[in-house]
Amino acid sequence: MKLKPITIDNLALMVCGDQEYKNIFPYRTSSGLTDFFRRVNLSYIHRGESRRWWVRDILDQLNGKENTHDKRLPSKEMVKIIEQLVDPIEFLRTGRRDDSILLISKLLENEGLALNFDEHSKPKLILSSGEFASTAVEVRKTERFITFTPEVFRIPEGTININQIAVMMPFSKDFDEVYVTIKESCMSVDMTCHRADEVWKETAIIQDVFDLIFTSSIIIADLSRKNPNVFYEMGIAHTLGKFVIPIAQSTDDIAFDVGHHRVLKYSLSGNGRTELKNKLESRLKTIKSKIQKKSQAA
């Protein structure tokens, strides 16, 4: 397939790090452009020509080639360039990779394309049908893609905050002390947590709940009293590939369908809150370490 001229124009600006893409994609000098193409095994050498138009001409040439492996995709050279634009090595200095992924994904939507990431967080250009959404913090090899266009929720534009935790629990004063304990545990590992009732951005509260789950890296779900809303929200979190930490005051609160998950049991009497804080802190440290390793690899 051949990409549209406007897509080629934008890709050229991304490669250069110019105009609206400045400070998001790395700004590349003459030698930087040469090095970029060298990293995708293309021997183009920039010798002082106008950077944007020089890159634009190269992309035009490569866009005219046919992908003999899959005619539904751009040429193999164009695929390599698009994938390299969001490769982790390109963002060692700027740290704006998440923003760049969001921008290039928006651009690719118009071409029926999307980016996927394998177990090493290396980008891979794929065909897309509908809206492709992935919010998993832990990157694993994908065996099958799931695309969906939800009717109940609107997918938020925000990106995932790896230091944000969403707390799902009954909206009752009886749980205020529990929430304070959870907040203390989160603070002890330099993370922040929020409940949906602290957020009021949308008319429908369920949209605020979905946004909070979507943009958080970890979900703490208090299953106490078998609150149906919490189970519903935990199901959303599991579907979105989130780390979920279930907690409960009693084993009787744990429904059959989630009985195979490890649950942190706690008590409000005696040293119950202290024990909950310590258990949560330990679990959060483990998960945060895992997230950071994945983030650094990306």
pLDDT in tens, 121-172: 678 888 875 444 444 444 444 445 556 667 777 887 767 888 999 999 998 8
Min mean pLDDT across 45-49, 158-162, 231-235, 247-251 is at 158-162
Model confidence at 116, in pLDDT bands (50, 70, 90)? confident
Confidence (pLDDT) at 146: 58
pLDDT at 237: 93
Give residue 26's pLDDT: 92
- 54-105 pLDDT, tens digit per residue, is 999 999 999 999 998 888 899 999 999 999 999 888 887 766 888 888 899 8
Write out the two tokens for 183: 């907040």
In the predicted structure, residue 187 carries a pLDDT above the cut 70? yes
pLDDT score for 132 = 44
In terms of Cβ atoms closer than 10 Å to its own Cβ (0-12, 13-18, 19+), residue 27 is middle
- Residue 131, pLDDT score: 45
The larger pLDDT score, comparing residue 298 to residue 173, is at 173
Tell which wins on pLDDT, 164 or 120: 164
Distances 75 to 72, 81, 82, 88 between C-alpha atoms, Å: 9, 10, 11, 22
| Cα 91 to Cα 23, 87, 97, 166, 227, distances in angstroms | 11, 8, 6, 28, 44
pLDDT at 119: 47
The string of DSSP letters for 208-248 reads HHHHHHHHEEEEEEE-GGG-HHHHHHHHHHHHTT-EEEEEE
Instruction: For residue 196, give both structure tokens.
Output: 């949906």
DSSP state of 26: P
> What is the tens place of the pLDDT at every residue in 135-145?
444 444 444 55
Position 108 confidence tier, pLDDT thresholds 50, 70, 90: very high
Q: What is the mean pLDDT of residues 204-229?
A: 90
pLDDT score recorded for residue 134: 45
pLDDT of residue 227: 92
Rounded Cα distance, 23 and 96, in Å: 8
pLDDT at 78: 96
DSSP string computed for 128-157: --S------SS----SS------SS----S
Indicate if the pLDDT at residue 118 is higher than 70.
no
Q: What is the share, in percent, of the chain residues with pLDDT greater than 70?
A: 86
Q: CA-to-CA distance for 86 and 298, rounded, in angstroms?
A: 10
Task: Calculate the average pLDDT of the chain.
Answer: 86
pLDDT reading at 46 higher than 70: yes
**Domain architecture of the chain: domains with CATH:** 5-127 (no CATH), 161-297 (3.40.50.450)
Write out pLDDT tens, residues 240-273. Answer: 889 999 999 998 888 777 777 789 999 988 899 9
Confidence of residue 8 (pLDDT cuts 50, 70, 90): very high
* 200: confidence class by pLDDT, cuts 50, 70, 90: low
